[in-house]
Amino acid sequence: MGEGMNINEWEKRYSIAYYNISKILTGIRGIFVAYNCNVDAIKHVKEKDIHKLISTVGKKSVQQRVTEYPREIQDPVDLVARLVIAMRDGKAAEVPTYTTEIHKWLMDNLVFDKARMGGQAGIISNLLANLGINNVIVYVPWLSKEQAEYFVDTANIKYPVIEDGVLKFKHPSEAYDSYQKPKVNWILEFSKGTKFELAEEVFEVPRDNRLIISSRPTWVRIDMSEDLYEHLSKMNGMIDGAILSGYQMIKEEYEDGTTYRHYVKRAVKVIERLKEGNPNMRIHVEFTSIQNKVIRKAILKDIVYKHVSSLGLDTIEVANALNVLGHEELAYAVISKGENSISALYEGAVKLLCELKLERVHVHSLGFYICVASRDFPLTVEEHRDALMFSATLAAAQALHGDIGSLKDGQTALKVPISERGHDDLEQLEKYLVRRDVCTGTEFEDGCICAINHDLIVIPTKVVQDPVGTVGIGDTISAGAFAAILAMLRKKQIDN
C-alpha cells in the first residue's frame, strides 16, 4: 500500500467536500429533469406472502415458468415466477408489464405497505428541490393528478406549460392533465434470510433486494409535446444542465406502426434543442436496467453517443452496456466474482467514456465509486472527487432516513462510517494500476489520478448497515454528483 489517505483522512475530506458543495449549490441557475415519473407501490414480501402467492397460482405452474424465465409479466404466474427467481438469487430486477390486470391482481392478492414518488425523473426532481436548487424544471409526458401529489410542495419545482403561445411555469399540482391515469409500479422488496419452499426445495434469500414490476400502459411514450419542444430554447438562462432518463421505456414497435427509431430521433432532437445557444449546457443520462438489447444499444449508440456529457450507472449496468457494445468478455469479467472484476469495471468505464464520447462516467457500487473523466473537462480531479463524496453522503442519508428533506438532512450522514470493505476492495484496483504504471500507490489512495488519456477518481463510500430501503439510492448518487459538478462549473464561469 502507498502512503496516501487512510480512512480517517477520508472522513475529514468528506466533511470538507460536503461543506464546499453545499455552499455553492444555489449558484446553479436551474436543472431540467425529464421524463420518467411514476408512483411506487412498495410491499415488503415476507415468508407468509411468498407462500400465499405461490399457492394461489399453483406450485407446478410457478416451477415450470421459473425455467422459462419470462422477460415480461403477462399473467400472475409470470409475476410469481420472477419473484421466486429474484428472491432465490437475491438480485435486483425490473420487468415490464403491458397490462393493467397485474395491478388489479396485486391489489387483490398482496396490497402495498406504502406509496412513494418513483421513477428516476420523479425521485431526482424531489431531491434537487429539497437541496434548494433554484429552478428544478421537471417534465413528465404523463402527469396525472395522483402523480402530481407526490412532488414536494416547494416553489422551486416548476412544470413547463404553454398558455396562449407563452412558456409559463407552474407547480405540478397546478399543471396536471385531469384525464391522465397514473402509472403505478410495484416494488416487491425482500430481506436476506427469508425462507420459502418450492417443489420440495427450500430457498433462502441471500441478500436484501427488490423486484420492480414496471407498468407500461400503451400511453407511456418517451416524447415531448410539439409546443414545449418549440419553446425549449426559451429556458436558456434558467438552466445550466439537464438530467434525462426513462429511455428504457421506449418499445421496439408500437401498435400504431411507429418504431423505436422515431422516439430515439425525437429524444436526440430534444437534447440538441436544450443545447442550442448554450455551449456550456451539460446533459446527464441516468442509465438503468434495460431488458431489451435492441433498445439498450440504440440508447447508447444513438442517444448517448456524442450528445450526452455524463453517464451514471451501477456495476451490472456497466456490464449490460459493454455487452451490447461488443465487449462481451469484459462484461463477463465485470460481473464475475473474481479479483479482476474491479479492474474490469475500470477498463469498462474507460471504454464507455471513449467510445461514447462522454465527458464523465460515474459508476457506483456498494462501498466505492469509480469515475472517469476526459482530461479536457474544466474541473480538477480534486473537484471531481468532491462531487463524488458529496453524492456518497447523500446516498448514506437516503439509506438512513428513506429520503432527504434538506442539505442539513444530508449532512447528518457524515457520521455514517466509510465502508472498510469498500476501501479494501479498491486495493485490487490499486495493484492493477500500479502494476500497469498508470499511477503510484500514493496517488491512488488520494483517489485522484491523472492518467495519460483520462482522469480517474475513486472513493470509498459510506455504507449504512440497516438501510430503510434501497430504491432510488442510485438516482440520488448520480443526481447529487452531477449537481455538484454543475455548481463548480457555474462558479468558474462566474469567477472568470
- Nearest approach in angstroms of CB 94 to ligand GLC is 6
Rounded Cα–Cα distance for residues 230 and 212 (Å): 35
Q: Which is nearer to ligand GLC, 35 or 444 (CB)?
A: 35
**Rounded CA separation 324/137 (Å):** 32
From 78-86, 97-105, 254-262, 469-477, span contacting ligand GLC (CB under 6 A): 469-477
- Return the closest-CA partner of residue 33 out of 494, 475, 386: 475
Find the catalytic residue in 227, 403, 475, 495: 475
Do 287 and 324 contact (CB within 8 A), yes or no? Answer: no
Q: Which residues contact 316 (CB under 8 A, 6 or more apart)?
A: 92, 289, 335
For ligand GLC, give the closer residue by CB, 189 or 427.
189
Set of cell numbers at residue 34: 425529464
Binder of ligand GLC out of 97, 126, 130, 214 (CB under 6 A): 214
Q: How far is CA 437 from CA 220, 224, 239, 425, 440, in A?
A: 49, 48, 41, 19, 7
Q: How far apart are CA 229 and CA 254, in angstroms?
A: 22
- H helices within 3-58, ranges in order? 7-24, 47-57
- Site map 398..417 versus ligand 8BR, x via CB under 6 A: -x------------------
Residue 406 grid cell: 434538506
Question: Could you confirm whether 475 is annotated as catalytic?
Answer: yes
Residue 364 interacts with, from ligand GLC, ligand 8BR, none (CB under 5-8 Å by kind): ligand 8BR
Q: Distance (Å, rounded) from C-alpha 207 to C-alpha 226?
A: 46
* 38 forms part of the interface with ligand GLC (CB under 6 A): yes
Q: Which is nearer to ligand GLC, 392 or 449 (CB)?
A: 392
Q: Which does 185 bind (CB under 5 to 8 A by kind): ligand GLC, ligand 8BR, none?
A: ligand GLC
Given 388, 395, 433, 483, the residue binding ligand 8BR (CB under 6 A) = 395
361 binds ligand 8BR, rule: CB under 6 A: no
Q: In the range 282-321, which residues lie near ligand GLC by CB under 6 A?
A: none
d(CA 274, CA 233): 6
Binders of ligand GLC among 127-146, rule CB under 6 A?
none
Which strand ranges, in their side-by-side order, compose the sheet holding 448-450? 166-170, 157-163, 135-139, 30-35, 241-245, 282-286, 310-314, 360-365, 368-374, 454-460, 448-450
Shortest-Cβ-distance residue relative to ligand GLC: 118
Q: Is 185 among the residues that bind ligand GLC (CB under 6 A)?
A: yes
Question: Where on the chain is the footprint of ligand 8BR (CB under 6 A)?
Answer: 314, 364-366, 395-396, 399, 463-464, 467, 470, 473-474
Question: Where on the chain is the footprint of ligand GLC (CB under 6 A)?
Answer: 36, 38, 40, 94, 118-120, 123, 185, 212, 214, 471-472, 474-475
Residues annotated as catalytic are: 475
